[in-house]
Amino acid sequence: MSRSRVWHPFTQHAIEPPIPSIVSTDGAWLQTNDGRRILDAISSWWVVTHGHRQPRIMEAIRIATGMLDQVIFAGLTHQPAEQLASALIEMVPPGLDWVFYSDSGSTSVEVALKMALGYFRNIGAPRSRIIAMEHSYHGDTIGTMSVGARGVFNAAYEPLLFEVDTIPFPAAGREQETLDRFETLSLDRRAAALIIEPLVLGAGGMLMYPAWVLAELKRIAEASGTLLIADEVMTGWGRTGTIFACEQASISPDILCTSKGLTGGAVPLAATLASDAIFQAHYCVDRKKTFFHSSSYTANPIACAAALANVEVWRCEPVAERIAALSARQAAGLQRFQNNPFFTESRANGTILALDLRTGSAGYLAEIGPKLRAFFLERGMLVRPLGNVLYLLPPYCITGDELDGLYDAIEEAGECFGSRS
Ligand SMILES: *Cc1c(COP(=O)(O)O)cnc(C)c1O
């Protein structure tokens, strides 16, 4: 076989072990071309919600391909996009009345930032400053890197990134510092929007903060007229226990980004939902106020059909019960690690469990990361630590036994690689 010419994402090919080739997927499992089965404990980078190849979603894709493929979405529309928009508006927190489609989480965030700046320009009160939270992640494009944490991931591109204001992560006991800092920044007349990952900061290390902080951030934003952008690309579709994380704080953001679980993880699609005020600021006979954005594959009909089927799954199957059961198991799993000397900061939110391995080196480039990944892969488990942060973010179909196997393996990893407190 000739050498692969594929350049993989976030992969240092000089040290990467041989890359398994996956031939099929089913539920929580991946099957390799050499007959191994791998338990997907991270939902293939957080996209798969119910399980791989969810039957209703796959069937909807098959049916859609009998009718439609990509159709230009400027000046034309189609039923899958129309139906999905109505369904989404019913599922997100109230007050989000307009749906703008794109094709990835990063793009949905770029769209959100552009909507925010467009809003202020069009209402004649230009504001352009974005406020972001320390340790946050919003994507890998130039704009989304700009509003995300700076570090080894984006050091080379730093000269291209725009400046933002940051608020500290609301660590336990220090939440007021975050709120005070935001209050100060939001009073600056240039403050356009605060962008946040509600309740759980994913790529920044599965950092979690309580719903009341989110509610306070919303209150402060509203008082100062700063828009609130909720990046629910990872947290959406049940990950934190509710369909969207914002529900837990009973808040409505001005703009909400969703992607990953939008199609259940089957095909790429994203949506940015906006309040009527933001739409109305762009609604004008003056063509200069148009929202100038498009992706070639905006509202791909096959992807919209997959997302509609995902909504059907939520409506017709006991998804909430599955999530509750998985969340209860993860909470019990958490108990198991709370007194384990090799781990610290064990935490859980909904279906997500995370813990930090005590080790000499921390941070994303910690040597331990690749070693842990290999350790789990040898045991037929796909676990991809963020440096020394181990987490399980499984598809909702995972069984109790499968989870127990993962907890056992984590315990073993602690003994192999951890240092005692
Ligand atoms: C994954 C992620 C993104 C980027 O989504 P892509 O589809 O990879 O572009 C943005 N925000 C959050 C919170 C994410 O987890």
Nearest-Å Rg of the Cα atoms of the chain is 21
Q: How far apart are CA 324 and CA 75, in angstroms?
A: 43
Q: For residue 328, what are the domain limits?
A: 318-415
Average pLDDT over residues 331-335: 96
For ligand 1, pick from 133, 138, 207 the residue to mutate: most ligand atoms within 8 Å of CB.
Answer: 138
Query: Which residue minimizes the CA distance to atom 15 of ligand 1?
Result: 234
Q: Judge whether 309 and 346 are in contact, CB under 8 Å.
A: no
Q: What would the mean pLDDT of 403-418 be, rounded to a whole number?
A: 97
According to the annotation, is 384 in a ligand binding site? yes
Q: Confirm whether residue 260 is marked as ligand binding.
A: yes
Given this model, what pLDDT does residue 175 score? 98
How far is it, in rounded angstroms, from Cα 172 to Cα 397? 32
Amino acid at 224: S
For residue 60, is it within any domain? yes
Count CB atoms within 10 A of the CB of residue 400.
Answer: 12
Confidence of residue 3 (pLDDT cuts 50, 70, 90): confident
Query: Does the global pTM surpass 0.85?
Result: yes
**Which pLDDT band, with edges at 50, 70 and 90, does 364 fall under?**
low
Report the Cα 301 to chain-centroid distance in Å.
23
Residue-wise pLDDT for 79-118, tens only, equals 999 999 999 999 999 999 999 999 999 999 999 999 999 9
Q: What atom in ligand 1 is closest to the CA of residue 107?
A: 9
Rounded distance from Cα 233 to ligand 1 centre (Å): 6
From the CA of 144, give the closest atom in ligand 1.
10
307 and 402 share one domain: no
Last residue of a domain, one of 259, 284, 314: 314
Convert the pLDDT of each residue in 11-69 to its tens digit: 999 999 999 999 999 999 999 999 999 999 999 999 999 999 999 999 999 999 999 99
Q: For position 198, which CATH number holds?
A: 3.40.640.10
Q: b or e along 238-258 (b: 16 or more beta carbons within 10 Å of the residue's beta carbon)?
A: bbbbbbbbbbbbebbbbbbbb
* Same domain flag for 309 and 399: no
What pLDDT, on the 0 to 100 scale, is given for residue 362?
A: 66
Total domain count, the chain: 2
Residue 296 annotated as binding?
A: yes
Q: Ligand 1: distance of its center to the CA of 76 in Å?
A: 28
**Is the predicted pLDDT of residue 367 greater than 90, yes or no?**
no
Contact present, 197 and 253 (Cβ < 8 Å): no
Closest ligand 1 atom, residue 270 Cα: 7
What DSSP line would sit under 15-83, residue for residue? Answer: TPPPPP-EEEEEBTEEEETTS-EEEETTHHHHT-SS-BT-HHHHHHHHHHHTT------SS---HHHHH
Asked whether residue 178 carries a pLDDT value surpassing 80, the answer given is yes
Record the tokens describing residue 355, joined without a space.
Answer: 């813990």
What per-residue confidence (pLDDT) applies to 363?
A: 67
8 Å CB contact between 309 and 63 = no
Report percent pLDDT > 90 for the chain: 95
Q: Which of 260, 295, 297 to mutate to test the pocket of ligand 1 (most atoms within 8 A of CB)?
A: 260
Boundary residue ending a domain (244, 279, 314): 314
The residue to mutate among 208, 259, 349, having the most atoms of ligand 1 within 8 angstroms of its beta carbon, is: 259
Q: What is the CATH number of the domain that holds 364?
A: 3.90.1150.10
Q: Are 261 and 236 a contacting pair, CB within 8 Å?
A: yes
The answer to whether the annotation marks 407 as part of a ligand binding site is no
| pLDDT for residue 110 | 98
**Residue 143 counted as an annotated binding residue:** no
User: What pLDDT is recorded for position 1?
Assistant: 56
* Res. 163 pLDDT band, cuts 50 70 90: very high
In a domain, 15, yes or no: no
Using an 8 Å Cβ cutoff, are 254 and 280 in contact? no
Asked whether the beta carbons of 329 and 403 are under 8 A apart, the reply is yes
In a domain, 44, yes or no: no
List all residues whose CB is within 6 A of at least one atom of ligand 1.
104-106, 109, 137-139, 197, 202-203, 231, 233-234, 259
Nearest-angstrom CA–CA distance, 58 and 36: 24
Smallest CA-to-CA distance from 306 within 267, 261, 270, 273 is with 267
Residues 6+ apart with CB under 8 A from 138: 105, 106, 109, 132, 144, 147, 148, 195, 197, 231, 233
Do 67 and 95 reside in the same domain of the chain? yes
* Boundary (domain end) residue, out of 263, 286, 314: 314
pLDDT digits (tens, 9 = 90+) for 258-303: 999 999 999 999 999 999 999 999 999 999 999 999 999 999 999 9
- Give the 3-state secondary structure of residue 158: helix
Whether residues 128 and 268 share a domain: the answer is yes
Q: Report d(CA 175, CA 214) in Å as an integer.
A: 10
Report how far apart the first and last C-alpha atoms of the chain are (Å, whole number): 48
Answer yes or no: is 294 a known binding residue.
yes
Instruction: State both tokens at 177.
Output: 């510092």
The pLDDT value given to residue 420: 85
In this prediction, residue 360 carries a pLDDT of 78
Residue 6 in any domain: the answer is: no
pLDDT of residue 326: 98
Residues 382 and 408 in one domain: yes
- Give the chain's mean pLDDT: 96
CB contact set of 209 (below 8 Å; sequence gap of 6+): 169, 170, 171, 175, 199
Q: State whether 239 and 356 are in the same domain.
A: no
**Same domain membership, residue 239 and residue 344:** no
Residues 6+ apart with CB under 8 A from 122: 281, 282, 284, 289
